[in-house]
Structure 1
Amino acid sequence: MARTGGTDAVTCGGCALSAVGAITAPAVWLSMDRTDRHLGGGFENEGMDYTVLFTELPFVILAGAFVPLLAFTLLVRWRDRRRG
């Protein structure tokens, strides 16, 4: 089955949204007070815990990539069902 131009545009839009989410989620995560405390925002290096970079950050990136992609996919499928 050949792809149409609209399908390629939707696929490209989903990939772009996933990339933006994967970049935005860690930026938001780094700006939170909780993360700041773990990464050295405590008094005299109190509470420095760099394990959050290995435990939380991968999940933040994955969630940032997949949650917008999932929402986009559901919206596209809902739109297609309403059309036909």
Structure 2
Amino acid sequence: MKRDVVTGGGCLVSAAGVVGAVWLWGASDRTQRHLGNKFENNGQDFGAFLTELPFVFLAGAVVPAVAWGLGVWLLGRRRGRSESSRASEFHA
């Protein structure tokens, strides 16, 4: 059960990262300029949309998931170390 909770938490953090990254990318002045929020859509460039959005999506999914996994791994190592030291005290 605990492993399912950790996995579900990682997926939730990853999904939130994707939504946040895409929202921040879409709200930036640079992106708005490329998507044509100028006078009469001058300077509209969908190449920026097609090349940047996949990277933003991947970074938003991967970075939070890696951070979550690293945190779970570090906490697991810490907990494992403290449990092994307690077990050795009882066995000595």
TM over 0.5: yes
How many angstroms does 1:61 deviate by?
0.5
Of 69-78 and 43-52, more deviation after overlay is shown by: 43-52
Over 4 Å off, 4+ runs: none
Which of the numbers 3, 14, 28 marks the counterpart of 1:18? 14
List aligned pairs for 1:3-82, cutoff 5 A: 5-82=1-78
**CA deviation map 1:23-77 (0-9, x unaligned):** 2211110000100110112333222111112100010001001100000000000
Structure ID, larger Rg: 2
Structure 2: how far apart are the matches of 1:6 and 1:82? 17
Structure 2: how far apart are the matches of 1:22 and 1:66? 9
Unpaired runs of 5+ in structure 2? 81-92
More helix by share: 2
Question: TM-score, normalising length from structure 1?
Answer: 0.88
- Residue type matched to 1:69 in 2? A
Matched length: 80
